[in-house]
Amino acid sequence: MNITEFQKWVGDFYQERGWTGYGPFIRVGFLMEEAGELARAVRAIEIGRDRPDEGEKPADEARQELVEELGDVLGNLILLANQYEVPFEEILEAHRAKLQKRYQKSETE
């Protein structure tokens, strides 16, 4: 599945469940919540958990949690893009162009 197909699939999936009616401010709140969960997953992999009620997970479980949280962040980014009718492919291209322009080697190097 390419990114355009995935963007449509996410939009359809959320819409079928009535989850697309939230405005951008609420959606950004969901995104921040998911970013926090992603941060927790990264922390668990990199430095472990330091709370006594949270045990260490096997590496494969920790990785799976990371993958799922990355997906939740991506889903919310896609929904925001959909609210503003911005194709995700356009975002990828614009980001690549921005970075290439910003970090291109000067002709004097």
27, 79 contact by CB (below 8 A) = yes
More confident residue, 52 or 60: 60
E-only strand ranges, the chain: none
> How large is the average pLDDT for residues 10-28?
96
- Which tokens sit at 68? 């799922």
86, 62 contact by CB (below 8 A) = no
Please work out, in degrees rounded to the nearest 5, the angle formed at the alpha carbon of residue 31 by the alpha carbons of 26 and 9. 95
> How large is the average pLDDT for residues 84-105?
95
By C-alpha distance, which of 100, 97, 95, 92 is closest to 4? 92
Chain-wide mean pLDDT for the chain? 93
Span 38-48, pLDDT tens digits: 999 999 999 88
Per-residue model confidence (pLDDT) at position 75: 97
pTM of the predicted protein model:
0.87
